[in-house]
Chains A and B, each alone.
Chain A
């Protein structure tokens, strides 16, 4: 996994609550057996005026000029500013894969759905929870200022505004450690192989019906 330390980038505002993972990456693209290449279909139904089909050349499709990512001022955005309950619905990891493939490195919202939130960390994409009032204020600033950027400093756990204002955010220590060092958590878990085997041996005695069927 790619490490995340500090990132500064253009912010794109997606002003809509309860953005579900079907909206982030529609199901027809889930037929792929690959992990990459989902970026052109990120927010497909919002981004294009026609219906997306797998493996089509998206560069030739009609864009929806109303959609935020199609506006020139947000070209190259790498931080997505979102509303509450971002990433609700399906467990598809294709959602963080699509955000990552498009070029996003962080998503800021007042709240996230649990499974999406967890999936982000596995892909070096940092979901950041900030208070609703702060997010409201960021929406106003982004919309009022062309080329608005934020700096995300993971070691210090702060989001830094262009005027130097700093907003702290919480992150669980294990996830922070894995992100900072780009660690494969399967490797870490396998270091506990003895504890796993001991658990299994105990379970075979206490609840023998749980293994072997």
Chain B
């Protein structure tokens, strides 16, 4: 047999039917559901008189709209201040009950961001096809899954048929040789990749990350990488399975046990690209070249090393790009040529499906320990990705470190990544954010987002402006 990429293997093992017109039916093993992109799908199902094809393939959780305020959370939906959000959350509960879909409800200790709890509960396993009405479903590719976001019509399609009609993607490999330096994380790596290939660089591809630096990453780090594959335009990110993957999965609530686990693990070990497999595009980076990153514009590709300066549109030859950079600097209120380190931050957000896992909180806490947020910083939100992450962090005393540093310790949810709840920026405010998108208004109308790693976010909170976290580690 021809050597195959990991994507090719996942495609081949889930192909239900290749139709004569070139379209293909792919079987979906796991469908994750949240409150924002599902109500219209359930409504469509009802209107057509259809039922879910296979109930146990679905797992629902509220995350986008939920309050992260511990006081507001205590009373459940009844106490929610935002009536429009409350209705949407209640609709998820009602739909799950009506159709018989398993839901991890608001104040269940396992509740959290859908892309955190999927792997954490073992609902997502290596080799699965995983979809969700959320573009950051690419996260699950860290487990050797074919995982990507879908729209609401496809949510309905998957509910009704357990399949997706989808074109085959091309294969891209981003190979990162060497080792990341101390203080440089998976977030810096993926921002550097996006800076290199651009936000459309991966369009049409399944983007596999490989090389020594990727193998060295923990599962949390690999999830951060794959999470942001979509910011490079690739619907699906991928990392091949290794012993770290298998060790992470073992013992999780929905994972197989005993002899079946061993049987599964034997299969999972084959979920790697074969030697000699052909990729349509290969991009190579050296890990040692990557510094902590800070985004300065309104697209994740508008990113620089923390030691760099804000670009000068006048020096950009391409007219479309020049206009884009000039527009971004105006929106962001930045001067061409100013050092990144001179950008002052008003708020800091540590959380999101990109960076809210235990390792992320440990990295932020290591910087915050024994320090305090700068007086000029109005708020530092730390929002754990799930109830389990929160409990683990509290067991390790991280919550105490954050509180002593003047940071706020919140309940799990998507929070200020997309600001559908009360956690948002005011117009003109700059935010050091561990989230994934720096689009205009993403974190609040007129808000200015700078994407960074958890350690860099904590460092900015302490300094009041961007600073190379490696200097704080040495001191």
B-binding residues in A (CB < 8 A):
16-18, 20, 22-23, 26-28, 30-35, 45, 51-52, 54-55, 83-85, 88-93, 96, 111, 113-115, 118-119, 122-123, 172-175, 177, 184-186, 188-190, 192, 195-196, 199-200, 203, 207-213
Q: Which residue of A lies closest to B134 (CB)?
A: A91
9 A-B residue pairings within 8 Å (CB atoms): A26-B441, A26-B445, A33-B43, A89-B230, A113-B203, A114-B204, A118-B154, A122-B153, A195-B25
Decide yes or no whether B133 CB sits under 8 A from chain A.
yes
- Asked whether, in the complex, the Cβ of A172 is within 8 Å of the Cβ of B23, the reply is yes
Decide yes or no whether B48 CB sits under 8 A from chain A.
yes
Q: How far is the CA of A89 from the CA of B29 in the complex (A)?
A: 24
- Asked whether, in the complex, the Cβ of A89 is within 8 Å of the Cβ of B327, the reply is no
Q: How far is the CA of A119 from the CA of B135 in the complex (A)?
A: 12
Would you give the shortest CB distance from B77 to chain A, in whole angstroms?
Answer: 14
Given the known inter-chain contacts A51-B445, A89-B135, please indicate yes or no for A211 contacting B437, CB distance below 8 A. no
Given the known inter-chain contacts A85-B200, A190-B160, A190-B161, please indicate yes or no for A93 contacting B152, CB distance below 8 A. yes
Would you give the shortest CB distance from B47 to chain A, in whole angstroms?
Answer: 10
Would you give the shortest CB distance from A42 to chain B, in whole angstroms?
Answer: 14
Contacts of A113 in B (CB 8 A): 200, 203, 233
Q: B264: which of A18, A177, A207 is its contact (CB, 8 Å)?
A: A207
Q: How far is the CA of A27 from the CA of B127 in the complex (A)?
A: 32
Q: How far is the CA of A18 from the CA of B231 in the complex (A)?
A: 11
A-binding residues in B (CB < 8 A):
16-17, 19, 21-23, 25, 27, 29, 36-37, 39-40, 43, 48, 50, 53-54, 56-57, 64-65, 82, 84-85, 87-88, 91, 122-123, 125, 127-128, 133-135, 137, 148-154, 156-157, 160-163, 165-167, 199-200, 203-204, 230, 233, 235, 254-256, 260-261, 263-264, 267, 299, 320-321, 323-324, 327, 418-420, 427, 437, 439-442, 445-446
- Asked whether, in the complex, the Cβ of B54 is within 8 Å of the Cβ of A91, the reply is no
Q: Which residue of B lies closest to A199 (CB)?
A: B16
Q: A192: which of B17, B160, B254, B323 is its contact (CB, 8 Å)?
A: B17
Would you give the shortest CB distance from B68 to chain A, in whole angstroms?
Answer: 16
Contacts of A23 in B (CB 8 A): 439-441
- Asked whether, in the complex, the Cβ of B23 is within 8 Å of the Cβ of A16, the reply is no
Q: How far is the CA of A194 from the CA of B360 in the complex (A)?
A: 46
Q: How far is the CA of A73 from the CA of B161 in the complex (A)?
A: 45
Q: A122: which of B57, B151, B160, B437 is its contact (CB, 8 Å)?
A: B151
Q: A83: which of B54, B122, B125, B320 is its contact (CB, 8 Å)?
A: B320
Given the known inter-chain contacts A113-B200, A213-B256, please indicate yes or no for A22 contacting B17, CB distance below 8 A. no
Q: Which residue of A lies closest to B169 (CB)?
A: A114
Q: How far is the CA of A212 from the CA of B323 in the complex (A)?
A: 53
- Asked whether, in the complex, the Cβ of A16 is within 8 Å of the Cβ of B135, the reply is no
Q: How far is the CA of A208 from the CA of B149 in the complex (A)?
A: 25
Contacts of A22 in B (CB 8 A): 418, 437, 439-442
- Asked whether, in the complex, the Cβ of B264 is within 8 Å of the Cβ of A209, the reply is yes
Given the known inter-chain contacts A93-B152, A122-B154, please indicate yes or no for A209 contacting B260, CB distance below 8 A. yes
Given A20-B439, A89-B135, A192-B163, 13 new contacts (CB under 8 A)? A22-B441, A45-B441, A51-B445, A90-B135, A91-B137, A118-B166, A172-B167, A175-B23, A189-B165, A199-B27, A200-B27, A200-B162, A210-B127
Q: B91: which of A33, A111, A210 is its contact (CB, 8 Å)?
A: A33
Q: Which residue of B lies closest to A121 (CB)?
A: B153
Q: B161: which of A92, A196, A209, A213 is its contact (CB, 8 Å)?
A: A196
Given the known inter-chain contacts A22-B442, A173-B22, A196-B163, please indicate yes or no for A93 contacting B153, CB distance below 8 A. yes
Contacts of A16 in B (CB 8 A): 323-324, 327
- Asked whether, in the complex, the Cβ of B40 is within 8 Å of the Cβ of A33, the reply is yes
- Asked whether, in the complex, the Cβ of B233 is within 8 Å of the Cβ of A85, the reply is yes
Given the known inter-chain contacts A27-B418, A31-B85, A91-B133, please indicate yes or no for A186 contacting B157, CB distance below 8 A. yes
Contacts of A207 in B (CB 8 A): 127, 264, 267
Q: A174: which of B23, B43, B327, B446 is its contact (CB, 8 Å)?
A: B23
- Asked whether, in the complex, the Cβ of A174 is within 8 Å of the Cβ of B40, the reply is no
Q: Which residue of B lies closest to A90 (CB)?
A: B135
Given the known inter-chain contacts A54-B84, A185-B165, A189-B165, please indicate yes or no for A210 contacting B29, CB distance below 8 A. yes
Contacts of B87 in A (CB 8 A): 31, 33
Name B's interface SS. Answer: loop
Q: B203: which of A114, A123, A188 is its contact (CB, 8 Å)?
A: A114
Would you give the shortest CB distance from A21 to chain B, in whole angstroms?
Answer: 9
Q: How far is the CA of A115 from the CA of B209 in the complex (A)?
A: 21
Given the known inter-chain contacts A17-B324, A89-B439, A210-B125, please indicate yes or no for A203 contacting B22, CB distance below 8 A. no
- Asked whether, in the complex, the Cβ of B22 is within 8 Å of the Cβ of A196, the reply is no
Q: Which residue of A lies closest to B234 (CB)?
A: A114
Q: How far is the CA of A67 from the CA of B293 in the complex (A)?
A: 33
- Asked whether, in the complex, the Cβ of B420 is within 8 Å of the Cβ of A27, the reply is yes
Q: Which residue of A lies closest to B89 (CB)?
A: A31
Q: How far is the CA of A122 from the CA of B166 in the complex (A)?
A: 12
Given the known inter-chain contacts A91-B150, A185-B165, A186-B161, please indicate yes or no for A209 contacting B39, CB distance below 8 A. no
Q: How far is the CA of A17 from the CA of B23 in the complex (A)?
A: 30
Q: B153: which of A84, A85, A123 is its contact (CB, 8 Å)?
A: A123
- Asked whether, in the complex, the Cβ of A35 is within 8 Å of the Cβ of B43, the reply is yes
Q: How far is the CA of A137 from the CA of B264 in the complex (A)?
A: 56
10 A-B pairs closest in CB distance: A122-B153, A174-B23, A119-B151, A93-B151, A91-B149, A33-B39, A209-B256, A85-B200, A93-B152, A91-B135
Q: How far is the CA of A49 from the CA of B345 in the complex (A)?
A: 25
Contacts of B203 in A (CB 8 A): 85, 111, 113-114
Q: Which residue of B lies closest to A83 (CB)?
A: B320
- Asked whether, in the complex, the Cβ of A189 is within 8 Å of the Cβ of B445, the reply is no
Given the known inter-chain contacts A17-B324, A114-B204, please indicate yes or no for A30 contacting B153, CB distance below 8 A. no
Would you give the shortest CB distance from A45 to chain B, in whole angstroms?
Answer: 5
Would you give the shortest CB distance from B451 to chain A, in whole angstroms?
Answer: 13
Q: Which residue of B lies closest to A184 (CB)?
A: B48
Q: Which residue of B lies closest to A31 (CB)?
A: B84
Would you give the shortest CB distance from B445 to chain A, in whole angstroms?
Answer: 4
- Asked whether, in the complex, the Cβ of A84 is within 8 Å of the Cβ of B200, the reply is yes
Q: A115: which of B22, B25, B135 is its contact (CB, 8 Å)?
A: B135
Contacts of B233 in A (CB 8 A): 85, 88, 113-114
- Asked whether, in the complex, the Cβ of B165 is within 8 Å of the Cβ of A55, the reply is no
